[in-house]
Amino acid sequence: MKTRPLESGDAPPRLNLVGAGSVGCTLFRLFAASNKFAVQDIYGRDETRVAQAVSFIGGGEARTSLSAMRPADVWFMTVPDRMIMPVAREIASEALSSPAIAVHCSGFLPASELSPLSRLGWGVASAHPVMTFADKEAAVDGFPGTFCGMEGDRCAVDRVAAILAAIGAKPFAIKPGSKTLYHAAAVLSNNLAVVLQAVAREAWAEAGVPDEISPMLNAALLSSTVKNVTTMGPAAALSGPASRGDWSVVEQQAQALDQWHPDAGRAYRSLSVMAGRLKQTGSTLQSEGYDPTRRVSAEPT
């Protein structure tokens, strides 16, 4: 998506933060360091934690009451998903600001979760940075170049996208109404990929691979996989028995998994079916052009 960069002659947008966790602290530290924004109030329920957040951010005023927050141009809501609507409802009921822009950073919930504010004329958006915030310092250093999935009111999305782009983000649009599917894709790409690595290590241990060897096997395979997927694309990068149509091997391996770890066996079968489709048709989706009996040239692994 295209964003209008912040103009040097524009008044610095006034920013408030509701939620003093890792995501909010990372974003607001970058906002404060950029000198392009007026970082105002940082809200959190725990006085010690919000004071630590202000110290980390390097700017703003600590607030433990929403009613004490000043009006702002953009309010970032980085609270847990279950709290987004209640906080929006409280801000709306307290009439803390004339209509402004509210944005939350949930990867799962749509911008409409801020509907108590949109009913009062606020612009609402969601902006999901596609990265991990487990370590705030590392997140600050690694944020430039981070992709951010955006949806919501057009004007609010454009404004928030420009703000995020000013600290190095790469905003992109998400199709309205598809937030759940979008976030499921992120979970498949990241979280569940981690689970598969854990299952692989456990299977190697069961097969007698020394504990000091399995992490190195894991690293070697992941390194080549990442390189191949990013340079060649998933279909071309895929190898293994299912991609060759070697279903006898697939079934024997699935049975071995069934005896050791039934959940892993079921996952192995489902993923193998999708692997066969992907290699033949370029897609994991069901297709009339897919022939599970077709064999392709032998490949290693």
In this structure, is residue 260 part of a structural domain? yes
In the numeric block, which tokens belong to residue 150? Answer: 């955006």
Contacts of 174 (CB under 8 A, 6+ apart): 149, 150, 151, 182
Shared domain for 80 and 104, answered yes or no, is yes
Q: pLDDT by residue (tens digit) across 156-207?
A: 999 999 999 999 999 999 998 899 999 999 999 989 999 999 999 999 999 9
Q: Which residues in 108-177 belong to E strands, given as ranges?
A: 123-129, 147-152, 170-173
Mean pLDDT over each residue of the chain, to the nearest integer: 92
- Judge whether residue 299 has pLDDT over 70: no
Listed in sequence order, the residues at least 6 apart from 206 whose beta carbon sits closer than 8 Å to its beta carbon are: 260
Q: What's the confidence (pLDDT) of residue 291? A: 75
Which domain covers residue 252, as residue numbers? 181-281
Residues 213 and 150 in one domain: no
Q: Do 143 and 208 fall into the same domain?
A: no
Q: Collect contacts of 82-88 with beta carbons under 8 A, ≥24 apart.
A: 83/19, 84/109, 84/113, 84/114, 85/113, 85/114, 85/115, 85/116, 87/18, 87/19, 88/113, 88/114, 88/115, 88/116, 88/117
Q: How far apart are CA 149 and CA 105, in angstroms?
A: 9
1 located within any domain: no
Residues 192 and 274 placed together within one structural domain of the fold: yes
pLDDT (mean) for 4-17: 79
Same domain, 21 and 164: yes
Is 298 part of a structural domain of the chain?
no
Q: CA geometry: angle at 109 spanning 59 and 123, to 5°?
A: 60
Q: What strands lie across the sheet with 61-63, from one edge to the other? A: 61-63, 38-43, 14-18, 74-77, 101-104, 123-129, 147-152, 170-173
Residues 194 and 148 in one domain: no
**pLDDT score of 41:** 97
Indicate the helix (H) or strand (E) that contains 238: none
Tell me if 239 is assigned to some domain. Answer: yes
Closest CA to 108 of 23, 48, 174, 44: 174
Provide the CATH number for the domain around residue 190.
Answer: 1.10.1040.20
d(CA 85, CA 138): 30
Indicate whether 270 belongs to any domain.
Answer: yes
Q: Are the C-beta atoms of 127 and 160 separated by less than 8 Å? A: yes
List, for residues 84-126, the tens digit of each pLDDT value: 999 999 999 987 778 999 999 999 999 999 999 999 999 999 9
Which of the pair, 295 or 107, is modelled with greater confidence? 107
Structure confidence by residue, pLDDT tens digits, 202-230:
999 999 999 999 999 999 999 999 999 99
pLDDT band at 294 (very low <50, low <70, confident <90, very high): confident
**Of the residues 127, 145, 177, the one at which a domain ends:** 177
The identity of residue 22, as a single letter, is S
What value does the CA radius of gyration of the chain take, rounded to a whole number of Å? 24
Tell me which of 177, 193, 214 is where a domain ends.
Answer: 177
On whether both 173 and 185 belong to a single domain, the answer is no
Rounded distance between C-alpha atoms, residue 246 and residue 229, angstroms: 22
Give domain status of residue 5, yes or no.
no
Q: Do residues 126 and 118 touch, judged by C-beta distance below 8 A?
A: no
Quickly count: other Cβ atoms within 10 Å of residue 241's Cβ. 20
195, 173: one domain: no
pLDDT band per the 50, 70, 90 thresholds, residue 288: confident
User: Which pLDDT belongs to residue 286?
Assistant: 86
Tell me whether residue 6 is in a domain: no
Residues 94 and 191 in one domain: no
Residue 268 and residue 244 share a domain: yes
Domain boundary among 177, 201, 227: 177
**Is 138 part of a structural domain of the chain?**
yes
Number of domains into which the chain is organized: 2
Examine the pLDDT at 24 and tell me if it is beyond 70: yes
Most distant CA atoms of the chain, gap in Å: 68
Do both 148 and 37 map to the same domain? yes
Does 228 lie in the same domain as 127?
Answer: no
CATH of the domain at 67: 3.40.50.720
How confident is the model over 239-262, as a mean pLDDT? 94
Residue 148: strand pairing partners:
129, 171
The confidence score (pLDDT) of residue 2 equals 64
